[in-house]
A and B are shown apart, each in its own frame.
Chain A
Amino acid sequence: MDIKSQISMVFHLDKCIGCHTCSIACKNIWTDRKGAEYMWWNNVETKPGTGYPTKWEDQDIYHGGWKKDGGTLKLRGAGKGKGLANIFHNPKLPMIDDYYEPFTFKYLELIEAPAMDDQPTARPISLITGKPMDIKMGPNWDDDLSGTPDFARNDVNLKKLTAKEQEAMFQLEQMAFFYLPRICNHCLNPACVASCPSGAIYKRGEDGIVLINQDVCKGWRMCVTACPYKKAYYNWNTGKSEKCILCYPRLESGLAPACMHSCVGRIRYLGVLLYDADKIFDTVASSAKDSDIIARQKEMILDPFDPDVIAEAKKNGILDSTIKAAQESPVYKFVKEWDLALPLHPEFGTLPMLFYVPPMLPVMASITDVDNTELAKKMDSKSKFWDDKWLYDTTTKEIFGSIEDARFPLEYMANLFTAGDVTIIRDVIKKLMSIRIYRRWKTVGDISEAKAMEALKEVNFTVEEVEASYYLTSLAKFGDRFVIPPAHREQAIEMLDNTGDAKGSMGFGTKITPARGA
């Protein structure tokens, strides 16, 4: 057993309102530099949608991630052979136009334009060439299903759905969507690290953060190809690759990552996981089905209360404060204790260490006539009158019957989170549903206790567990959602250089202003 610790995140997608605040916080801190304008280390996608870069999930286009090859694992588009053979020209490199051409507007023209008959306009100009351009694409142009024929209908995850199912999703009255915030997954089996010919990318032993050493990076661009999530970006100005650093300078001084800190929906949970690093290869290489990876990845995550695990962790140089943080980790609860969170696209084989609680999208419902006189009496006549004579009725004969009838097909969700395995996603959604049924009984009372208890029993949830998951989902304070070991100041200083010095030129890493031209 080789126990290591990993700072890990859970996204509760039911709570995401798609406001992009996380993206903006990240952009302002890290990527508002020349060459990095197009990068969104954190981005929020509307699903169904093609995402950023366009169709990133389609590995027939981008050739990212791992594939099984006999008993071993091979990088799909990079690796030792392919990487060196393609070193003069990487045929699988995504281009700037696969993301979008960054732009700004000539605002000064609004002020300096001479008096004339027409209103002055601020023309868009390219942030690469500085010349006027036509904006063809932005980082979230598929937001809220806008441009559905071009974006949502081309979603890669729809491929396995029947034409009829797809059609049903885009009926005007049936439409449903959700948001998917994405950052670097800080994988256990990172394809970017494996693909780097220079050996510039590494996983930090202490906390599992994957970083690119800017001085060692020689800009061969293989990580951009290899990362199946397309979260390694090439800076065309400095000639180096960059990626999400999980705000390690902030973590080391005890602050939450900018994306997490700024999240208005409070959808993010950050905590420590202890895992057995010896199992990494086997977990991916010897899983019979892609969907088996999920269960086996969860097996790798160890119980921080187990005395054997604690003893082994101590032997491996993991500090007491880290073990304590692992015991209080909200991520451990969501992922391991309650089985509510799933990795994104486990079939890519990188063992991503950020997890998603899938959203419970609108389930089928009927509209029932109700007598509202009693309810109307309760309302304050001055402020509001209850005139709805209908109830959005989601009751079904069977407790979980409505899950199968969800407007959003389970198959779609399965393609995203469980490598197409519907049974796993159905179990998770049932669990989420049981929490709602239980709370409905508690707070509204129009569901019987017997029914609520039956729902819990079917998904093997105890009352304590449901209460705890309800608390962590709905009521959790910042301290409950953000649990990392306190900063080991004396060690943090060793790790951390004041990178603020080079803000605006490099933003992170090397302090030398990266003047190119040679």
Chain B
Amino acid sequence: MNILDNFFFVALPYMAIPIFLIGTIIRYRNRKFSVSSLSSQFLESGSLFWGSVTFHIGVILLFFGHLIAFLFPETLLGFNAQPMRLLIIEISAFSAGLLMLFGLVRLLFRRMTNERVQIVTTKMDIFIELLIIVQVILGLCIAYFNTWGSSWFASSITPYLNSLFLLNPDISSVSAMPWLLKWHIIGAYLILIMFPFSRLIHVLVMPLHYLGRPYQRVLWNWDRSEVRNPNAVWEKQRPNNN
């Protein structure tokens, strides 16, 4: 088991992170046009609402839940010291998982059955959807069979992840984990690897900068303060045109 554990929990993450980083940068620089999630709402809107909104709310909640446990383990452990708080966290995380699963199943059903949506569906879309569904089911099983995850994540998984980032991998805590949990971790690395090759990349172009900009945008192809100046050299600036 030790060889396998070493592969899955040391080699795999060290493969996944560079693939994620380099792949994303290359795709953004060379095929910027494709960096988005191909929306099919224009072809079918009704069932998309119940699928897309529930899935996205669930996934955002769970993403930040995992992130907080990784970044602030002590705070979380302190917070969980009171059983009631721990219970609330467990129940809300489990509900978020159910919400996400509900959304995903609906989305998958819609992709498989709607004729028009099938036209804009690729094999990669289906693969990614199945991958995330498996990951969510694994997560739900863990939450059900190995309860109080928000606490043991902070005390056992966070040190492992930290050791990865410190380039001094220590898999002793992970090797002792049940297989359910191991597969969940492997699933996470697989998702990371698939990130730059699938529609998942749209996560990185969340338009949060919209909040900070004025509503109207005017772009100039030439410098209007210099354009009438006969002494100014005509700058070859590549306009942000299309």
Query: Measuring CB to CB, which residues of chain A are less than 8 angstroms from any residue of chain B?
Result: 4, 80, 83-84, 87-91, 93, 95-96, 128-131, 189-190, 193-194, 196-199, 201-206, 211-221, 234, 236-240, 277, 280, 314, 316-319, 490-491, 494-495, 497, 508-510, 512, 514-518
Residues B36 and A219 in contact, CB atoms below 8 Å apart = yes
B 94-111 to A, binary, CB cutoff 8 A, 1 in contact else 0: 000000000000000000
Residues B43 and A128 in contact, CB atoms below 8 Å apart = yes
B215 within 8 A of A: yes
B49 within 8 A of A: yes
Residues B209 and A193 in contact, CB atoms below 8 Å apart = no
Q: Please indicate which of the listed interface residues B34, B201, B226, B237 has the most CB atoms of chain A within 10 Å of its own CB.
A: B34
Residues A239 and B32 in contact, CB atoms below 8 Å apart = no
Choose from B119, B124, B215, B237 the contact partner of A128 (Cβ within 8 Å): B119
Residues A317 and B225 in contact, CB atoms below 8 Å apart = yes
Stretch from B140-148, B184-192, B216-224 contacting the other chain: B216-224
Residues A202 and B234 in contact, CB atoms below 8 Å apart = no
> What are 25 A-B contacts defined by CB distance under 8 Å?
A80-B211, A83-B210, A84-B210, A89-B41, A89-B48, A128-B119, A190-B216, A193-B217, A199-B210, A199-B217, A202-B219, A202-B240, A203-B216, A203-B218, A203-B219, A211-B241, A211-B242, A213-B242, A215-B32, A236-B40, A277-B218, A317-B223, A495-B241, A508-B242, A516-B122
Bound CA–CA A238/B33 (angstroms): 9
**Range of interface residues on chain B?**
35 or more
Bound CA–CA A516/B34 (angstroms): 7
Residues of B within 8 A of A240 (CB): 33, 36
Shortest CB distance A327–B (Å): 18
Bound CA–CA A323/B39 (angstroms): 44
B168 within 8 A of A: no
Q: Please indicate which of the listed interface residues B33, B218, B220, B236 has the most CB atoms of chain A within 10 Å of its own CB.
A: B33
Query: Measuring CB to CB, which residues of chain B are less than 8 angstroms from any residue of chain A?
Result: 31-43, 45, 48-49, 52-53, 56, 115-116, 118-120, 122, 124, 197-199, 201-202, 205, 207-211, 213, 215-228, 234, 236-237, 239-242
Give the interface SS of chain B, mostly helix, strand, loop or mixed: loop
Additional A-B contacts beyond A89-B53, A129-B119 (10; CB < 8 A): A87-B207, A90-B41, A128-B43, A213-B240, A213-B241, A213-B242, A216-B240, A238-B33, A317-B225, A518-B201
Bound CA–CA A318/B225 (angstroms): 9
Closest chain A residue to B215, Cβ basis? A194
Shortest CB distance B222–A (Å): 6
Residues of A within 8 A of B228 (CB): 314, 317, 319
Residues of B within 8 A of A202 (CB): 217-219, 240
Bound CA–CA A11/B197 (angstroms): 48
Choose from A84, A220, A238, A514 the contact partner of B211 (Cβ within 8 Å): A84
Residues B210 and A80 in contact, CB atoms below 8 Å apart = yes
Bound CA–CA A464/B210 (angstroms): 52
Closest chain B residue to A197, Cβ basis? B207
Residues A514 and B227 in contact, CB atoms below 8 Å apart = no
Bound CA–CA A502/B210 (angstroms): 30
Residues B216 and A194 in contact, CB atoms below 8 Å apart = yes
Residues of B within 8 A of A189 (CB): 216
Residues of B within 8 A of A198 (CB): 205, 207, 210
Residues A203 and B217 in contact, CB atoms below 8 Å apart = yes
* Known A190-B216, A199-B213: A494·B205 in contact at CB below 8 Å: no
Bound CA–CA A318/B43 (angstroms): 44
Residues of A within 8 A of B241 (CB): 211, 213, 495, 497
* Known A131-B115, A234-B42: A514·B210 in contact at CB below 8 Å: no
Residues A494 and B237 in contact, CB atoms below 8 Å apart = yes
The 6 closest A-B pairs by CB, nearest first: A317-B224, A197-B207, A194-B215, A509-B242, A205-B220, A239-B38
Choose from B33, B120, B237, B242 the contact partner of A514 (Cβ within 8 Å): B33
* Known A80-B211, A194-B216: A221·B41 in contact at CB below 8 Å: yes
Residues of A within 8 A of B208 (CB): 84
Shortest CB distance A220–B (Å): 7
Residues B34 and A518 in contact, CB atoms below 8 Å apart = yes
Bound CA–CA A205/B53 (angstroms): 38
Residues A219 and B39 in contact, CB atoms below 8 Å apart = yes
Q: Please indicate which of the listed interface residues A89, A204, A516 has the most CB atoms of chain B within 10 Å of its own CB.
A: A89
